[in-house]
Structure 1
Amino acid sequence: MTSIFDADGKQVPCTVIEAGPCVVTQVKTLEKDGYTAVQLAYDEKKEKKTTAALAGHFKKAGTTPKRRLVEFRYFEEDKQQGETLTVELFNEGDFIDVVGTSKGKGFQGVVKRHNFSGVGGQTHGQHNRLRAPGSLGASSFPSRVFKGMRMAGRTGGDRVKIQNLRVVKVYPEQNVLVVSGSVPGAKGSYVIIEK
């Protein structure tokens, strides 16, 4: 993340995203596949680390092996297999959605995971209950914990979509987008940008 100053002189927190070049590896049609979509590939990958089936798929599209394959339905323009898309798809002022995998935080208690407040005060003989979940509900009937009960567990590492982020700047020569606000994931992680 970084920050830039807008036209009014306000400091805007931004995220810098490298968005391309992406190669169209497959165009799915209603007649052949049952739905319409455009499959894009991004980021170079060594040939020896590519399976034979994927290597053939990339060869058919006339490109080198790539790390990420993502399908986009309802693509605006008609694209041809082997065509390269760059950051020039976006304009300054556009609003986009960014999908990514959030940072994993490991096994966490209910206060961090579900924003529980804990039990509260430490008076009246209360000991060691400050960040505990408290009562879980029913007792002799139904003699079990209901599914979906908010409890301690593994946190983060989920698919997250942040909506309506504004494109602040576009740098076509570096294939870089500058987007207002934060996006899910650690530095260097992959994200999907939807218009």
Structure 2
Amino acid sequence: MSVGILGRKLGMTQIYNEEGVAVPVTVVEAGPCVIVDIRDEARNGYNAIVAGFGDVKPGKLTKPFKGVFEKHNLEPKRWLREFRVESVEGYEIGQEIKVDIFEKGEKVDVTGKSKGKGYAGVMKRHNFSGGPASHGSSKFHRQPGSAGASSYPGHIFKGKTMPGRLGNERVTVKGLTVVDLDTENNLLLIKGAIPGPRNGLVMIRKTGSSE
């Protein structure tokens, strides 16, 4: 378990590596984050640090949320997230976590909330093939077909692949590669796609770390 960083997904682009090959990357504004609180084994039963990220006007915070920052005389942050660590030694409230905790070529796990796509049918949600497009098929082109059960057991089992809400779920993509980083502008270039919409919040941790 090790500390990670919070970031904002800016979008995708491509860069060229040393061999001249185009590499698709996601650009993330990673930090700087501020340690807002520290959880320890004696008081909380586990070790973790609470990181804050993103500027926000104090008037947009609720009183309990605002009190977290006023307690330690810190600037308000939009998001707060916990990172489990082996030990809280070496961390202190007000300390900054910057993008330089990662290295070029390092493997990371990225957690974010996937894009919400609303209520979706089985073809879009579960990749069903759908009904025939011709030959007597009437009003059955995108339907799921028979749900299966007869008089016994007489109900649909939980987890049946049916139409329903698609997306807007917490997703973690593991083992992505840090292609490059810009410490001056707090930018992290990660190979491939990461969860979430543009400007969405993401958590980035070294592969092998747990919450």
Question: TM-score band, normalised by the shorter chain?
Answer: over 0.9
Q: How does 1:44-193 map to 2 (within 5 A)?
A: 44-74=55-85, 78-120=90-132, 122-123=134-135, 125-193=136-204
**Whole-angstrom distance in 1 between the partners of 2:73 and 2:175:** 34
Shift of 1:60: 2.8
Please give the secondary structure, in 1, of the residue aligned with 2:83: strand
5+ residue gaps in structure 1? none
Bigger mean CA deviation after superposition, 84-93 or 134-143: 134-143
Please give the secondary structure, in 1, of the residue aligned with 2:138: coil
Please give the secondary structure, in 1, of the residue aligned with 2:42: helix
**What is the aligned-residue identity percentage?**
43
1:26 matched to 2:37? The reply is: yes
Whichever residue aligns with residue 65 of structure 1, its letter is P
Question: Does the 8 Å contact 2:131/2:137 carry over to 1?
Answer: no
Shift of 1:75: 5.7
Question: Does the 8 Å contact 1:38/1:75 carry over to 2?
Answer: no
4+ residue stretches of structure 1 with deviation over 3 A? none
**TM-score scaled by structure 2?**
0.87
Question: Does the 8 Å contact 1:94/1:166 carry over to 2?
Answer: yes
Shift of 1:121: 5.4
Whichever residue aligns with residue 18 of structure 1, its letter is E
**Whole-angstrom distance in 1 between the partners of 2:18 and 2:106:** 16
**TM-score scaled by structure 1?**
0.94
Whichever residue aligns with residue 43 of structure 1, its letter is G
Question: Does the 8 Å contact 1:110/1:132 carry over to 2?
Answer: yes
Please give the secondary structure, in 2, of the residue aligned with 1:163: strand
Once superposed, what is the RMSD of the aligned Cα atoms? Answer: 1.5
- Say which structure, 1 or 2, has more relative contact order (CA 8 Å, 6+ apart): 2
